C-alpha cells in the first residue's frame, strides 16, 4: 500500500518518546505534518528537525501539528529529542507499519533495509493528503516552503 495525494488515510497510532500511544485522527488539527526521517542522531536528520524546531511558531500559528517519525525505538527518540531540545512530538514506527503504508521504506540505506526515506506529508483536518514528498536522496531536505504553502 502506498498513499497518494488526495487519499484519505485512516487514523494512525504510534508511540511517542515516553512510550505512550498517540493517535492521529480526523478533526484533531486543521493540518498535520508528518515528517518521516531515516535515523535519529544522523547529521541531515538533525538539520531537518532543528529547522522545524526553529520554525515551530509558524506551524503553530497555522494550527498545524508536526510529528517527526522514524523507525528508531522510542527510547532512542527520547534521547534524540532531549539532545536537540525539540519542541514537537517524535513518534516511533519501530515495526515499520506506517512507513510501509505511506510507501517510504528504503530497501538500502547504507546497507540497512526498511529505514524510512526522508518524506513529508501534509494532511488536512479530514486526514486527506494535500502534500506529499518522498526523497530518494537522504542527503536532501524536504521542501519546507511547499509544506508551508500546503498548510496556509
Query: How many other β-carbons are positioned within 10 Å of the β-carbon of residue 5?
Result: 12
pTM strictly above 0.85: yes
Confidence (pLDDT) at 106: 80
Residue 70 and residue 92 in contact, taking contact as beta carbons nearer than 8 Å: yes
Name all contacts of 141-148 with Cβ < 8 Å and 24+ positions apart: 141/44, 141/47, 141/48, 141/51, 142/35, 142/48, 142/118, 144/51, 144/55, 147/33, 147/120, 147/122, 148/58, 148/62
- Domains of the chain (ranges; CATH) run 12-151 (3.40.30.10)
Confidence (pLDDT) at 64: 93
**Known catalytic residue at 45:** yes
Catalytic residue among 12, 45, 86, 122: 45
Q: What is the pLDDT along the chain (152 residues), one digit of tens a residue?
A: 588 899 999 999 999 999 999 999 988 778 999 999 999 998 888 999 999 999 999 999 988 999 999 999 999 999 999 999 999 999 999 999 999 999 998 877 667 677 899 999 999 999 999 999 998 888 888 999 999 999 98
Confidence (pLDDT) at 109: 61
Amino acid at each position: 500500500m502506498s498513499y497518494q495525494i488526495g487519499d484519505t488515510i485512516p487514523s494512525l497510532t504510534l508511540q511517542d518518546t515516553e512510550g505512550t500511544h498517540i493517535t492521529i485522527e480526523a478533526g484533531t488539527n486543521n493540518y498535520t505534518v508528518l515528517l518521516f526521517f531515516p535515523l535519529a542522531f544522523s547529521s541531515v536528520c538533525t538539520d531537518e528537525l532543528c529547522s522545524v524546531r526553529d520554525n515551530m511558531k509558524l506551524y503553530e500559528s497555522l494550527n498545524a501539528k508536526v510529528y517527526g517519525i522514524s523507525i528508531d525505538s522510542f527510547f532512542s527518540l527520547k534521547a534524540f529529542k532531549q539532545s536537540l531540545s525539540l519542541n514537537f512530538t517524535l513518534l516511533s514506527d519501530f515495526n515499520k507499519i506506517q512507513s510501509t503504508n505511506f510507501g517510504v521504506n528504503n530497501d538500502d540505506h547504507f546497507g540497512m533495509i526498511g529505514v524510512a526515506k526522508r518524506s513529508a506529508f501534509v494532511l488536512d483536518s479530514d486526514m486527506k493528503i494535500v502534500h506529499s514528498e518522498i526523497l530518494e536522496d537522504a542527503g536532501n531536505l524536504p521542501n519546507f516552503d511547499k509544506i508551508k504553502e500546503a498548510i496556509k
